């Protein structure tokens, strides 16, 4: 939700070590934004990117 994201941005103080991660959110409907990556545990869905550090994940 937008509220949770806003709270995380206020609490999170980015440090020196950050990780950018590719995340696939499961979706099996019919949209052209859907992607398939066969080697992932969830092979079909939306592909989004997130930044993580010490327990925080911003997507």
All structural domains of the chain with their residue ranges: 2-58
* Pairing mode, strands 35-36 and 56-58: unpaired
Model pLDDT, residue 3: 92
Model pLDDT, residue 43: 83
Q: State mean pLDDT over 15-26.
A: 86
Is the dihedral angle over the CA atoms 11, 57, 13, 55 positive or is it negative? positive
Q: What is the pTM of this model?
A: 0.55
Rounded Cα distance between 51 and 2, Å, is 16
Q: Is the pLDDT of residue 7 over 80?
A: yes
Q: Is the pLDDT of residue 4 over 80?
A: yes
Q: State mean pLDDT over 41-51.
A: 86
Q: Is the pLDDT of residue 55 over 80?
A: no
State CA 3 to chain mean position distance.
Answer: 16
Check if the beta carbon of residue 48 is closer than 8 Å to that of residue 21: no
């Amino acid at each position: 939700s937008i509220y949770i994201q806003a709270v995380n941005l206020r609490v999170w103080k980015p440090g020196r070590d950050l990780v950018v991660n590719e995340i696939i959110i499961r979706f099996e409907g019919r949209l052209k934004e859907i992607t398939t990556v066969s080697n992932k545990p969830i092979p079909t869905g939306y592909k989004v990117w997130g930044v993580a550090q010490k327990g925080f994940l911003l997507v």
